[in-house]
Chains A and B, each alone.
Chain A
């Protein structure tokens, strides 16, 4: 009875901490600029099914991709057993679903293989990060917390899987000894190899060990639940909505800013009266002071903020970025991490100031992301193509350039010259427009 009470308390604590953090991230996402992505539903579901559920872009790198599928499948499917574990915990039962017989046995057997897959994959991932030291895990932005975060997750998964298998191994011994409460159920194709570790224990100690592993496992899972939304590992949830709201257009297509179009239309319309009173806004709408491009976190669209929270810092973007590859300051992954960190900061500021963000003298542009980084981008879309969950660091970079140019008139001198040339000669170079057809004579 007491153990059931402790269990229920633990479970509600875990879930409520998780929900609290999710609500925080949700508020942060809602701080973003509004855009309407409610269109093309069928295409969106399809993209999500392919990219998130089907992991289609992960396998572009086969080793990491296939290992990731092990962990992903293991995580999703083993969680089916969480249902039984939670029910057992609440009701004080043991292997509640074992009455279904052979199906139950084969399910448990399958879970064991999956657990082994997760364990091996995580071990390989740890080796790749810490022993082999793949370049993309060693970049500047990965120092300190991001690397620790990744290692914590991998070690936690290994411990959880070990506890899960040991729980089954001790259970199997208990069944064999015919101990009370231990129903003869399940099959243990993997954990049977762990039994030698525990077979020497007395009955009391064996039960203690089995209970210990059970509690360690569930406590671990709940801690993991609370930890995930604080971590890059949050991609396990956000990857789904993030791919649903993927950009469905050509990756090279940039949006045409509506606020600019309004101005240009006015300038191009000879009948327009520049002093006319603007038409009244439809009821309920507030005028949006046009601020061009992205200067701070709240200038990002909600989708871009969602992308920042979905990023799992795998660095595939950075590893294919021509600028990063030639030693430039730019790393697309860092752009995403900076956006997330700034949103965390802005969100905390908002929550401590009763729901209203108070100027803190910082900006995403300048305090997190430098102009040098922005000007290193070639807009080649390699980062967009490489991202396993369709994040676009390039979109944010180009939106920040818009702020630099249209808000601050800050551009490297040759860029200013290029603008002037286009304005005056209709070409980025200083050739007179009239000579545009000169090649015709040469032909």
Chain B
């Protein structure tokens, strides 16, 4: 079963049923994580990255609901939604129950490192006690042994004087130290997969570097796979093996990290890359992506990026692109969802720039239109 990926997400759909309408936060994403791999999930705020990760853990709360797709972890279906006889989505019989999910998957197989280390530790518990609680829960050890493991983990993630710090409260730690504790918590239960939800976003750059080094070391040591959620392409370049770029609930490009940076296919990825400084390219001025991401409650027709896409043509507004395999090498897959790579008349269509400005005449687009 070595060919089988550790985690396989197929056509995952999560929607939020709000009063204003249905928000399609995650709209049919598919990706895979192999053993020992760090897979990036990249996108702007509101792209659905965090909803995607909580869907994998089945932690989406009402009014949110997973309405379709399959998530297979080590051959077990942790999410498997099928259409019921009444047309409503319902869990299939193979899908784990909530009870099994909690006992078998959460913590001991898949763990999460949260975004904000200031918020993710319970302020009324000593950090050691929290660590121990999670270890006792997920590993078959007594409380004295769990304490030893907890102290070892604290030492492992670089907390000085772990025996003493075991009895400290979270407010007595700095941000970087707390993030280390959170990493210790995630690793302590020896999961095979860790979902890191923007773990370095709340940290300053010097600490970010240390944490990334730490993750690299630990990944090598424990052979843990990661899903690394971030909006920071710099971190992606440094840490990830494969990258999935998300836009409005969809994955629009998926490639090995080198291909993504040097053989960029999708205009959105291109625009993202142009909006950050890169050590390998010298430019006069950075180009931000115009406008803001539209609301997922009422996504644009056709290609969802066409309202902001510099390459958009009329056909982009009508045709919703599907993922195409554009890989040149046999070993690596490079998939992209863009009309450009489908033979449906992109070449003949008229550019869309002005119309886009009219259709979505937000202030931001207007302002940037004047600049251009």
Tell me whether A and B are bound partners. Answer: no
Binding site for A on B (CB under 8 A): none
Binding site for B on A (CB under 8 A): none
